[in-house]
Amino acid sequence: MKIPRFLTIVLLSFCVFIPAFFGVNYNASALASPLSPMQKIAVVSTTTAELKTTVDNFLKSIPGDYYTVGKVAQLKQLLKQEDVFLVDVRQPSEYASGHIGDAINIPLRTLVQNLDKIPKKQPVVIYCSSGYRSAMAVMSLHLLGYDNVRGFPPSMNGWNAAS
């Protein structure tokens, strides 16, 4: 008996997407394991619990000031006093339409491929247009071992409004 195509799609969806929706991840080593289905779920649950603990610990380690330069005046003062390295994580077209000082442009999606351009021994301030992308960049760089990086949440919108 031939199974209708639509039924095949429904069955595949059930087998693939439903477990993914509930957080069950399949991998070859788990499938080859002699564990019962209940034991496999326990392994996934333990892994999920460990991941939650790791994320929780990371989030609790974030300082109250969230690694930020919170005001335009504060950034202007830093630019006068310190050798601050500015990184604009907006798209090249956004950067071309205006940027802060001597900022270099490293679009957020290319951040990891451009780590060699970001110093580890110099203060780094990251900004974008509204603060969203810069927050992701700051957290990503901190996870990668950069402890000299801060975001500028007012970003270009705040900078332009203050000018």
Tokens of 41: 């779920």
Whether residue 43 has pLDDT greater than 50: no
- The answer to pTM > 0.85 is no
**Which residues belong to the active site?**
128
Q: Is residue 151 part of a domain?
A: yes
Average pLDDT over residues 52-75: 82
pLDDT digits 0-9 by tens, 150-163 = 999 999 999 999 97
pLDDT class of 63 with cuts at 50, 70, 90? confident
Q: Which domain holds residue 40?
A: 5-61
Whether residue 56 has pLDDT greater than 80: yes
Q: How many structural domains comprise the chain?
A: 2
Q: Is residue 108 part of a domain?
A: yes
Tell me, yes or no, whether 109 and 90 share the same domain. Answer: yes
Q: What is the structure's pLDDT at 155?
A: 94
Amino acid letter, 14: F
Q: What is the structure's pLDDT at 46?
A: 56
Whether residue 31 has pLDDT greater than 50: no
E strand spans, 1-94: 85-88
Residue 117, CB-side half-sphere exposure with 13 Å CA sphere: 15
Q: What is the largest CA-CA distance in the chain?
A: 79
Tell me, yes or no, whether 56 and 85 share the same domain. Answer: no
Whether residue 66 has pLDDT greater than 60: yes
Whether residue 86 has pLDDT greater than 80: yes
Tell me, yes or no, whether 29 and 78 share the same domain. Answer: no
Tell me, yes or no, whether 11 and 53 share the same domain. Answer: yes
Tell me, yes or no, whether 77 and 39 share the same domain. Answer: no
Domain boundary among 37, 61, 85: 61
Q: Percentage of residues in the chain with pLDDT exceeding 90?
A: 51
Whether residue 58 has pLDDT greater than 80: no
Tell me, yes or no, whether 42 and 79 share the same domain. Answer: no
Q: How many other C-beta atoms can be found within 10 angstroms of the C-beta atom of residue 107?
A: 18
pLDDT digits 0-9 by tens, 96-141 = 999 999 999 999 999 999 999 999 999 999 999 999 999 999 989 9
The domain spanning residue 141 has which CATH number?
3.40.250.10
Q: What is the structure's pLDDT at 152?
A: 94
